[in-house]
Structure 1
């Protein structure tokens, strides 16, 4: 677990893929990989998400693939058995945390308030997902890190190429980035070159 989290901190970006089909997932992940992204999250409300996770593990052995939108214990276990290297959730579910810890797989739960953040940490979360961050901005990360410097924070829901560096400068452990990297429009249009360009620009901006 620690080795994966250290790599996540080093790479800094998790690309969140939420789409209506996994038919083009191969091309999407290839574009992200070529652009410098090494962590992707397939949300569990994507059709055939588990098969998508398995496919990525086979075709892209250097890409760390996780499952997102993990809302309950059953989903956590299925994702782990399908080969997810890490899990993310928009909420904090104690049962899911216990399941992930049992398998030594990091689950990054969704939290927002200081109380929720501390509770997630007490349940064993190595990293917490502050979501949605859009209304609060980078300063919120710095404010939380003041009294709780030991908590690793991943902001999600409002992070893009324009503010990514600022979030990192304010103490973020890593960043979760969704539709500004990959969205249904780009996938439907098969505009994988644009996905590659966005990934490359983002990686350059934060390094």
Structure 2
């Protein structure tokens, strides 16, 4: 598409060109499809490494294969590498990424996608440079346009709980099929409404990720919640 080209990781940094609003992904169609297929990106913050790995395994058993390790977790880069190696069925990414150095560290550890709560051009640029999917946080149509023009593959609508599903429909009205991932306050009671409003996938943390259950020796409860999320998303997609 007019002037677009894939940006791949190389020894010579290459900056990504601006994207038009209709382009779905650049060099990351496989990751984009993996997140869409999962339906939910499990946001995992904190936790002991063994607990995080066991929880990720339980999530994958329930069909939620997209795992986001937040960068504010102690040893996040090492943990990304550990989860990636221990749970090969998972698509592992980094969340709460606020600067290019953090993005680079996580990507070198094996992160396949990068998520931010806000819009940071340097994070988008770095992810583009390494050929990874990037999802900055946005709230308004203006931010959505700026994010896509900067090179974002997916847009994290955050915090979704403050605006509700109708906000997604409102953004998509003038912008068409802009890919949105609402995050913040997503649970089993409202996930269908967000999917029906046009979300590609959703981000879910506390309503899905239960370290306590895993530490009690009850990972099956996490697996069951993951299955319920998947079932409701499938129903909403028809």
TM-score by length of 1: 0.95
Please name the residue that 1:62 is paired with: 89
Aligned counterpart for 1:52 among listed residues 79, 84, 100:
79
**Separation in structure 2 between the aligned mates of residue 165 and residue 174 of structure 1, nearest angstrom:** 11
Is 1:118 aligned to 2:148, yes or no?
no
Please name the residue that 1:145 is paired with: 172
2:128 alignment partner, SS class: helix
**Separation in structure 2 between the aligned mates of residue 194 and residue 182 of structure 1, nearest angstrom:** 10
Please name the residue that 1:22 is paired with: 49
**Separation in structure 2 between the aligned mates of residue 30 and residue 10 of structure 1, nearest angstrom:** 17
Task: Map 1:53-132; keep pairs closer than 5 Å.
Answer: 53-132=80-159
**Separation in structure 2 between the aligned mates of residue 197 and residue 142 of structure 1, nearest angstrom:** 30
Aligned counterpart for 1:177 among listed residues 204, 207, 225:
204
Please name the residue that 2:22 is paired with: none
Q: How many residues align?
A: 207
User: Do the aligned residues in 2 keep the contact of 1:16 with 1:178 (CA within 8 Å)?
Assistant: yes
**Separation in structure 2 between the aligned mates of residue 98 and residue 131 of structure 1, nearest angstrom:** 20
Unaligned runs of 5+ in 2: 1-27
User: Do the aligned residues in 1 keep the contact of 2:158 with 2:184 (CA within 8 Å)?
Assistant: yes
Unaligned runs of 5+ in 1: none
User: Do the aligned residues in 2 keep the contact of 1:41 with 1:67 (CA within 8 Å)?
Assistant: yes
Q: In structure 2, do the counterparts of structure 1 residues 20 and 11 end up closer, same or farther at CA, with 3 Å as the change threshold?
A: closer
Q: In structure 2, do the counterparts of structure 1 residues 20 and 30 end up closer, same or farther at CA, with 3 Å as the change threshold?
A: closer
The structure with the largest alpha-carbon Rg is: 2
**Separation in structure 2 between the aligned mates of residue 90 and residue 21 of structure 1, nearest angstrom:** 23
TM-score by length of 2: 0.83
Aligned counterpart for 1:163 among listed residues 177, 190, 193:
190
Please name the residue that 1:38 is paired with: 65
**Separation in structure 1 between the aligned mates of residue 34 and residue 90 of structure 2, nearest angstrom:** 11
Higher mean alpha-carbon deviation, 71-80 vs 162-171, is at: 162-171
